[in-house]
Amino acid sequence: MGDFYIIQEIVMSLFKRIIVSCVVLLVSASCGAVEKDISKVDPVAMKRWQDMRFGMFIHWGPVSLTGHEIGWSRGNQTPIATYDQLYKQFNPTRFDADQWVRIAKETGMKYIILTTKHHDGFCLWDTKQTEYNIMNSPFGRDVVKELAAACKKQGIAFGTYYSTCDWHHPDFPRTSPGGQVSREKHNLDRYTGYLKAQVRELLVNYGPLITLWYDVPQEFNAQRGQGVIDFTRSLQRDIIINNRTGARGDFDTPEQKIGGFNRDRPWETCMTICQQWAWRPKDQMKSAQQCIQTLLQTAGGDGNLLFNVGPMPDGRIEPRQVERLKEMGDWLKKYGHAIYGTRGGPFKPGYWGASTCNEDKIYLFVMNWPKTGPLKVPILPMKVTKAALKPQGDVKMKRTEQAIELYVPQEKRNPIATVIELTVAGKAFDIPPVNFAPERKSAASGKQAKASNTFGNSEQYAPAKAFDQDPETRWATDAGTKAAWLEVDLGKEMTIGQAMIDEAWDRVHRFELQYKVDSQWKRAHAGTTLGAKKEFAFDPVTARYFKLNILEAVEGPTIWEMQLYEEK
C-alpha cells in the first residue's frame, strides 16, 4: 500500500514538473520572446507601432529658405552650386523642439519622423562623416539631438527619415536633377559604408528610434537593401524599417495616397498637409474635412498615417497649419478611442466611409449617406446587438433579410464623419472583411485613352494608365501644365451617372466632366478641386466618349485612376 503511494507521488511530481516546464515554454514562446532572426521584425514592436496609427512627418532643411521642394529642386529651380551653399545662411532662430512636440501631441500624433538627411545630402545632426551638416551653419545646433530629447521628455516616439539615395555624395552613382544624371566616378560600396556609419550615429546617439524610414533606393538592389536592414536591426533589435532600402522591409509606404485595405501586411500612408513636403509660402492647404477623412480612411484600411508638415526657415511650423492640426486633434479627443489600438474593417472603406474595430465594437465613420432612406449595412456573420451615437444615444436599427438599416436623422449627422458604434456578440476582428457597397466595375476600365499632354511623352505616364485599374500607375502631364484634358473611348454608348477620380498632389482647381453628342462636348458635371479619390454623381448621360477637362491647375495635373460607373 505505502509503496504504491510513494511510487504514485513520484510519478505525479514528475508529471507536474513536465507540465510546468511545458507551460513555461509555451508562455515564453507566445510572449514572442524576441525573434532571433534579425531579418525579421519584432512582432511586439510592430503591434505597438500599429496601435499608434497616427504620426507626424517633418521635412526640413536649408532648402526651406527657397520655398522650393526638398531634394528635387536641386538642379531644377535652384542651381546645384546655389543649393549647396544654402546652409551657410540657414539660421532658424525660432526653432523650438519642445514646441514641435507639443503641436504633434495636441494633434493626437503618437510619433514623429524627421528628415535627418534628404536626397540633397544635408545632415541635420552633428555627424562625424561629413562637413555638410547643421553644425557648420550659422545656427550650429544639433536639431536631431534637440528633437530626440524633446520627444523623450514629453513621451512621444521618435524616428528618423534617412534618404537611401544621396545626390550630393561623390560616391553615389547619380546626382541632381532628380537623380537622373550619372556620375562618371562613383563607389557604391564605399557609399554604403558611409550610410551605415551615419545610421550607427543616429541609432547610438539619438535612439532608441521607433522607425528608420529609408527613401528612394535607386541603385540599391534587394541584397544591398537587406544588408542595410540587418545592419540597422543589429544595432536596435526592436526597430521597424520601411520598404525603401531595395529590400522588402517591414511595412509598405503608399505615398500621397491612401493605401488599399490590407490586414496581412502593415502599411503607412505618408501625405503632406499642403502640396510640398518642404515649406512653401502660401502653399495650398487641405481642408479640415480632407485631413480628418484621410486619417479615417487610412485607419479603416488597417494602415497608419504619417502626416507631413514642413517648418518655415525661421524654425516655426506655420500658424495656419498648426490651426489645422489642432482641428484634427480636437476631433481625436472626441473619437480617438475609435482610432488608436483598433484594426481596420470589417467593412472595407469606400465612398460611403470607413470602419474600425476593437473587441466587441465596430466603429462606422459614415461620410456619404444614401440620397434617401437609411444606411444599409451588410448582414454580418455575427449578431449586432446595439447601435449608438456617442454621446447622443441609441440609433434606430432595423433588420431586414438583406441588411441592417441604420436611421440617423439629418440633424445628428456630422459632415466630416458620423461615428456610429456597433456592438457585436463576439470579437469583431474575427469577422472576415466585407465590401460595404458592391464592387463597381468601371465602364472605362482598359479602354482606349488619349490626352492633351503626357509627361515627357513617356509610356510610363500614358493616358491609359488612368484607366488600367492599377492604383500604382498614373497619367501625368509636363511640369508647368496649367490646363489639360484626358479622354476615354468606351467603345460603345453607355449611360453614366457616377464617377471617381483619384488625383495625386491636389493640383486641380477647376474641372468639368464632359461627354460627346453629335461631335459636341457637353458638360455632365463641374467641380473645383479633385484630390484623393473624389467621387461624384450627376444626372445620367448616354455617350461613347467622355473627357475630364481640367480648366485650372496649379501645376501639371496627374491622375492615378478615373472610373465611370454605368447606371443600372
Contact yes or no for 280/274 (Cβ under 8 A): yes
Minimum distance of ligand H79 from residue 89's CB (angstroms): 22
Q: Is the dihedral of CA 184, 185, 189, 193 positive or negative?
A: negative
**Which CB sits closer to ligand H79, 123 or 270?**
270
Closest CA to 172 of 213, 225, 119, 130: 119
Minimum distance of ligand H79 from residue 466's CB (angstroms): 16
In degrees, to the nearest 5, what angle opens at C-alpha 475 toward C-alphas 471 and 479?
130
**Which CB sits closer to ligand H79, 224 or 474?**
474
The verdict on whether omega for the bond into residue 79 sits within 30 degrees of 0, i.e. cis, is no
**Which CB sits closer to ligand H79, 139 or 277?**
277
User: For residue 102, with 0-12 CB atoms within 10 Å meaning exposed, 13-18 middle and 19 or more buried, which class applies?
Assistant: middle
**Which CB sits closer to ligand H79, 505 or 546?**
505
Minimum distance of ligand H79 from residue 211's CB (angstroms): 13
Provide CB contacts within 8 A for 549, sequence distance 6+: 485, 511, 512, 513, 514, 521
| Whole-number Cα distances in Å, 373 to 370, 405, 409, 414 | 7, 9, 10, 17
Minimum distance of ligand H79 from residue 76's CB (angstroms): 8
Minimum distance of ligand H79 from residue 505's CB (angstroms): 6
Q: Compute the distance between CA of residue 510 and CA of residue 136 in angstroms, rounded to an integer.
A: 45
**Which CB sits closer to ligand H79, 386 or 509?**
509
Which parts of this chain interact with ligand H79 (CB under 6 A)? 59, 69, 71-72, 215-216, 255, 270, 277
Closest residue to ligand H79, judged by C-beta, is 72
In degrees, to the nearest 5, what angle opens at C-alpha 465 toward C-alphas 463 and 471?
145
Work out the number of other CB atoms within 10 angstroms of the CB of residue 266. 20
**Which CB sits closer to ligand H79, 72 or 565?**
72
**What element of type H or E holds 217?**
none
Minimum distance of ligand H79 from residue 460's CB (angstroms): 12
**Which CB sits closer to ligand H79, 71 or 346?**
71
Cell output for 395 = 440609433
Q: Compute the distance between CA of residue 475 and CA of residue 490 in angstroms, rounded to an integer.
A: 18
Provide CB contacts within 8 A for 346, sequence distance 6+: 355, 357, 362, 380, 428, 429, 431, 432, 433, 434
Minimum distance of ligand H79 from residue 455's CB (angstroms): 8
Cell output for 375 = 444606411
Q: Compute the distance between CA of residue 210 and CA of residue 56 in angstroms, rounded to an integer.
A: 12
Amino acid at residue number 410: Q
484 φ, ψ (degrees, to nearest 5):
-165, 160
**Which CB sits closer to ligand H79, 216 or 431?**
216
Provide CB contacts within 8 A for 358, sequence distance 6+: 338, 341, 342, 343, 428, 429
Q: Compute the distance between CA of residue 406 and CA of residue 378 in angstroms, rounded to an integer.
A: 11
Q: Compute the distance between CA of residue 410 and CA of residue 156 in angstroms, rounded to an integer.
A: 39
Please provide the DSSP assignment of 471-497 as one string. Answer: TT--EE--TT---EEEEEEEEEEEEEE
Residue given cell 546626382 in the structure block: 175
**Which CB sits closer to ligand H79, 68 or 348?**
68
Contact yes or no for 509/526 (Cβ under 8 A): no
**Which CB sits closer to ligand H79, 215 or 503?**
215
**What element of type H or E holds 115?**
strand 111-117
Q: Compute the distance between CA of residue 417 and CA of residue 567 in angstroms, rounded to an integer.
A: 27
Cell output for 176 = 541632381
Minimum distance of ligand H79 from residue 72's CB (angstroms): 4
